[in-house]
Structure 1
Amino acid sequence: MVREQHSTSSRKLDHLRICLEQNIERGDPGFSDVRLVHDALPECDLDFIDTTVEFLGHTCASPLFIAGMTGGHPGTKEVNCALARSADRFGLGMGVGSQRAALENPDLEDTFSIVREEAPKAFLVANIGAVQLRDHGSEWAERAVAMIDADAIAVHLNFLQEAVQPEGDHDARGCLAAIRDLCDGFRVPVIVKETGSGIAAGTARLLWEAGADAIDIGGWGGTSWAAVEGLRTVPEPPVSGKPGHPALSVVFEAWGLPTVTSLIEVAGTGGPIIATGGIRNGIDMAKAIALGADLCGVALPLLRPAMQGEDELFRTVTAFADELRVALFLSGA
């Protein structure tokens, strides 16, 4: 177990380093194919555009959602601290990265709990993997929520990443039942999220029927976790295509539903939607909202400025907010 804990924590630092140092974006999320109708006579005041949104009983100042990124290694604490301060300052919702490492090793809990300390009033979302939920049940979910005093919990589906990862969990059986069990009376809302391959309408309906309170579609076209795993995997010459072999990761970098496709698939099938995957500016946010999203998750475009300091992060968040307001103004929203 000690070795497994070390491995989980080390992976978190590997992932952070690769995301900061390498080109890990792949594909087109589809926003370039969507055009908002320009309103030449908007009859509204740009200065009074209200971007406030209600989500799962909480009020956020903007649909911009700081998507779950990191945590679980001492080197990630400052990143979560900066992101949380941004959430607090701008009234944004925020998720954290997978809490598995801290659930295995409580010494790492402070890399996550810092977010509530720095954002006492923010809408915060805990994060646990579907496989870990299946294996450990609601006890781990409860611990994840308590760790950051979360307002909701995300159960992440990352089976592409697991399939190409040497240490990955390759058995997906029983995860839907585990989600159903968690949704039955859990004390905070349950969000089910993909991590870069998208969710189709059929899967969304299964999740709504299981009791999910919201879905984060996590579409293809932004950060590719297949690419990340390919960059951190040491080549193994014996068998090309072996699970965890870099060649396998490269082939599957193009796997998944683009964000726009997934959003169109899921919109109207049930409850609230978070659109995540390749959202790179406020116009993308406006397009996602027009297609049915309630919140717009952004990760990599905030992670990199967060490493440069709070001022740069705050400038980036402000740019997203300004771009969204202008897009809403010019479309007469």
Structure 2
Amino acid sequence: MKDDRSYEVIIVGGSYSGLSAAMALGRSLRNVLIIDSGLPCNRQTPHSHNFITHDGEKPLSIAKKAREEVLNYPSVKFQKGLAVSGTKTATGYEITTENGDVFQAKKLIFATGVEDIMPSIQGFSACWGISVIHCPYCHGYEFRKGKTAIMANGERALHLAGLVHNLSSDLTLLTLGKVSFDVKQKAKLKLHGISIIEEEISKIQHKNGWVQQVQLKDGRELAFDAVYAAIPFRQHSLIPAMLGCELTDQGHIKADNFQKTTVAGVFACGDNSSMMRSVANAVATGNLAGAMVNKELVDEVF
């Protein structure tokens, strides 16, 4: 009888990338455990876009269907819970959950995503993923031609402005303080009719997460249909760092073209290791991670 605490692979994180990795492994008859806390970062987003065959579906519906499909493979198991620590063992790795459950595996895949750090602006969190958004590819089409703000400064603001300008000509930069553009950059923004407001924001007025107005600290109220926001993030799980996985300068888990981290036997996929935060990219990198883990297991015995 198989030890239900011991697996070939543990996948920490059971959303799109984790489930995609699990399917690749399940189809190779690998004994896999998925540990998931049930708190994906896009749980507030009403619709997912830019992923063919699922365009416009609710993120929760996509994940639910994916989980049902993955768990049709008998060698894949699912454990609801939060993984809180990981250690190296003589034969692989050990993962402990907040409930004290301990599981062992030869290989680990982290599909843990990232956690956005919300600014202390009233109404911001309630709108995040609905009308205060991060990605033109994921959300931009739905707000095309609308009155749009970009909450960012410097190079990040210029990058977003170029992408969003293709979707809306009514565009305002909210820099939340003194601008950090040089003369050439300011001229480019002016050429494209993009206005700049340096005043800080005190509140986002909204209705069920849909932006109505942005209230500035000087009392002005500006109407917008959507606000793009470039906000910082941190890794959702501390376990990769505990195990010695290196991070990039941007804060992502450093992974090579095969999703391998800097620690042997440990892989990462999805938002935690990529600047491209999308369902499509999560699924793609998860599929690759699963295949590469299977190859490592094959190479060790064949």
User: TM-score, structure 2 length as denominator?
Assistant: 0.32
Bigger strand fraction: 2
* Structure number with larger C-alpha Rg: 2
User: TM-score, structure 1 length as denominator?
Assistant: 0.30
Bigger helix fraction: 1
